[in-house]
Amino acid sequence: MSSKALQACIVYRQLLKAVRKHVGKENYKKHFVEYVTQEFKKNHDLSDVVSIQQKIKLARDYTLLLNSVHHHKDLLFSYNIAVDRSDEMKRVLGKSAASVGLRLPEPYQS
């Protein structure tokens, strides 16, 4: 396998992993994975090296963007900045109450 093909396989695997992790694996989200697969399959001809390199770079950049956006969102949640955390707080309160054998009062339940 040539180095370009190996590089394309690595980027393809990383992109699929990021899409499955951050977009989801549910059936109604299946078209994201299918689109990525189709794009990589239809561009398997390695004769146009410049175009292939650009597409590999684009796929790598999109993978980085996808991972970074979700990491940034997690940081916002952890720092409690400009994010509605009411659902998360209800879940935490419910777990805390359940750990001592209690239930939350009606106003806190969804």
Domain ranges, residue 60: 3-79
In order, the DSSP letters of 69-106 are HHHHHHHHHHHT-SS--HHHHHHHHHHHHHHTT----G
CA distance 2 to 51: 16
- Contact assessment for residue 46 and residue 4, using Cβ atoms and an 8 Å cutoff: yes
Task: Summarize pLDDT for 52-86 with one digit per residue, the tens.
Answer: 788 889 999 999 999 999 999 888 777 766 656 67
When divided into structural domains, the chain yields a total of 2
Residues 15 and 43 in one domain: yes
Residues 27 and 70 in one domain: yes
Task: Summarize pLDDT for 17-43 with one digit per residue, the tens.
Answer: 999 888 887 888 888 888 888 888 876
| 3-state secondary structure (DSSP) of residue 87 | helix
Residue 64 DSSP code: H
pTM above the 0.85 mark?
Answer: no
pLDDT at 63: 94
